[in-house]
Amino acid sequence: MSSELRAPFVAGNWKMNKTRAEARGYAGDLLARLAALGRDDVEVAICAPFTTLDEMVSASRSSRLMIVAQNMHEADHGAFTGEVAAPMLTELGVDGVVLGHSERRQYFGETDRALALKVPAALAAGLLPILCVGETEDERAAGDTDRKLRQQVKEGLDKLESERLADVVIAYEPIWAIGTGQTAALEQAQEAIAFVRALIADRSRDAAARVRVLYGGSVKASNAAELLALPDVDGALVGGASLDAEEFAAIVAAAPR
């Protein structure tokens, strides 16, 4: 579907990497590189660990760089030891939150049912939710990719009114491509992302034309241009390659103009 209504979005997911001192150094480096690129047409975000969020927010204050958390609880306060709530993130000046990353689903029991509550809670707090979906290698081999995506997209967005669907960013991340160096073939990425968009169109054609769907899974500077040029791909969620500011800035530069 034509991408005129959708600004490219490139987000770097640091996962559990970088101390506060490292984050500060990276922010200075990345901001200088982004200023030199002059790509104000691309929205750029760093998804940082909780402990570095305030450093990143203050480092990026006079720039367009968005700072995003990697998880949050659906309640806005309560007896949930070890969790972080949306108002705690907005108090820091955080712009968004990654929800349902496959590592959280796989290692920490994140469920579609919880995500259905987290997505509207994030939006209500003024945070941009980045909802991650994607199939395992076995599911793809069994021809189950569409079924898995349908379940994750439908359930994750179940409690969100149609008028707000386009305010979510969806990241299609085939699990077999995350951190493996094995990127999805271009046809696989395009096909899956067009399918995700079609699922949104089932609820609202207008939202489908406006919602941004990213590709994630071993994106790097050398393969970003061809992935980002695919008609339904509106950007990238970048893990390992975002840890290096030079490499990450090169991925931003690869977004189509």
Interface contacts to ligand PEP, rule CB under 6 A: 13, 15, 173, 178-179, 216-219, 237-241
Would you say 14 or 121 has its CB closer to ligand PEP?
Answer: 14
Annotated active-site residue in 55, 73, 101, 103 = 101
Q: Which residue is nearest to ligand PEP (CB)?
A: 239
Q: What's the closest the beta carbon of residue 15 comes to ligand PEP, in angstroms?
A: 6
Q: Is the dihedral of CA 171, 42, 126, 18 positive or negative?
A: positive
Spell out a b/e string for 39-60, using b for 16 or more CB atoms within 10 Å of the CB, else e.
beebbbbbbbbeebbbbbbebb
Give the burial string for 135-155 (b: 16+ CB within 10 Å, else e). Answer: bbeebbeeeebbebbbebbeb
Closer CB to ligand PEP, 97 or 208, in the complex: 97
In the bound complex, what is the minimum distance in angstroms from residue 183's beta carbon to ligand PEP?
8
Alpha helix positions (H), the chain:
20-37, 53-59, 86-92, 102-108, 112-125, 137-141, 145-156, 186-203, 205-210, 221-228, 245-253
CB 175 within 8 A of CB 105: no
Token digits for 24?
Answer: 């500060």
Based on the residue annotation, tell me whether 101 is a catalytic residue of this protein. Answer: yes
Residue placing its CB nearer to ligand PEP in the complex, 103 or 139: 103
Residue nearer to ligand PEP on the CB measure, 120 or 239 = 239
Rg (CA), the chain: 17
CB of 11 to ligand PEP, least distance (A): 9
Q: How far is the CB of 170 from ligand PEP (least distance, A)?
A: 13
Could you give the residue numbers annotated as active site? Answer: 101, 173
